[in-house]
Amino acid sequence: MRQYQIDPEKPVKLKKLDADAVGDWEGKKKAAQKQFKKLQKELADLQEILYAEQKRKVLIVLQAMDTGGKDGTIRSLLEKVNPQGVRIANFKVPSEMELAHDYLWRVHAAIPAKGEMVIFNRSQYEDVLVVRVHELVTKEVWKKRFDQINAFEKMLAEEGTTILKFYLHISKDEQKQRFLERLADPKKQWKFNPADLEERKLWDAYMDAYQDVLNKTSTAWAPWYAIPANHNWYRNLCVASIIVETLGSLQLKYPSPLQNSNQYIDFLNHEE
């Protein structure tokens, strides 16, 4: 799965990234789903230790075009996880209060504390994506943000945060299919916003902006992964594998066992 990690030395061209790819799992959807179930359980176990240990912080950033699968990824990833110690932070159009501050203000307030795992549904990257595409600030302003974000994430990493960033890559055609599905299903229509179609018209500008994000802000301390996301089952498998592998490498540990547990057991067994 590491093949999807963006190496800043070898910049990606998003046009060449196949959103339909399924790696070595061609024709093996059932097996992939089985493997994903195993990973869900492993993730739940790792998160339990992360929470018990109260030392490290884990930040997972999700970015994608509309219908790209951010919500679905979050739902599947966390299916077996204990909701204690996990938090989702959604970044919408900034409020007046948020706009009165620098763009990282609301982001900093939402980062994980010790023992926490936080998933960002959209993130600081909106400030170099939608903000750039819609020219909400000048080029001079957004250009500086790549370095600012890298420095911000470096500080978080040095302070004990493990950061993983996922861009879920769907094709423009897949987006059309997903919008049509949403519109055809009364239970899904609430997710559709007519403004999404205006965004769709700007697809190419968004791809340019995403490409810059991936190539300029994938760092050793906060790597980007560009995940083929036309197939939900493969997307889930990739994201879960990368998270489980990364958390596994942290060597998380339950706090040391109590030295005097016998004393407490004795107390409880002899209480009046």
Q: How many CB atoms lie within 10 A of CB 181?
A: 12
Considering only residues 3, 26, 27, 93, which one is a binding residue for ligand AMP as defined by CB under 6 A?
Answer: 93
Residue whose CB is less far from ligand AMP, 42 or 66? 66
The one of Mg ion, ligand AMP, none whose footprint includes residue 92, by CB under 5 to 8 A per kind, is: ligand AMP
Instruction: List beta partners, residue 120.
Output: 61, 89
- Tell me if residue 126 falls in helix, strand or coil: helix
CB of 201 to ligand AMP, least distance (A): 14
Written as six digits, the tokens of 187 are: 């239970």
CB of 141 to Mg ion, least distance (A): 25
The values of phi and psi at residue 250, to 5°, are -80, -10
**What is the rounded CA–CA span in Å between residue 224 and residue 210?**
11
Mark the segment that binds ligand AMP (CB under 6 A) among 32-40, 54-62, 88-96, 251-259.
88-96
Query: 117-176: which residues touch ligand AMP (CB under 6 A)?
Result: 122, 126-127, 130-131
111 neighbors 156 (Cβ within 8 angstroms): yes
Query: 59-78: which residues touch Mg ion (CB under 5 A)?
Result: 66
**What is the rounded CA–CA span in Å between residue 268 and residue 272?**
9
3-class SS shares of the chain: helix, strand, coil, % to 5: 55, 10, 35
The one of Mg ion, ligand AMP, none whose footprint includes residue 23, by CB under 5 to 8 A per kind, is: none
**What is the rounded CA–CA span in Å between residue 177 and residue 67?**
10
Residue whose CB is less far from Mg ion, 66 or 127? 66
Mark the segment that binds ligand AMP (CB under 6 A) among 56-64, 72-80, 92-100, 252-260.
92-100
CB of 75 to ligand AMP, least distance (A): 14
Written as six digits, the tokens of 186 are: 């009364």
Residue whose CB is less far from ligand AMP, 22 or 74? 74
23 neighbors 234 (Cβ within 8 angstroms): yes
The one of ligand AMP, Mg ion, none whose footprint includes residue 91, by CB under 5 to 8 A per kind, is: ligand AMP
Q: Site residues (CB under 6 A) for ligand AMP?
A: 91-94, 122, 126-127, 130-131
Q: Site residues (CB under 5 A) for Mg ion?
A: 66
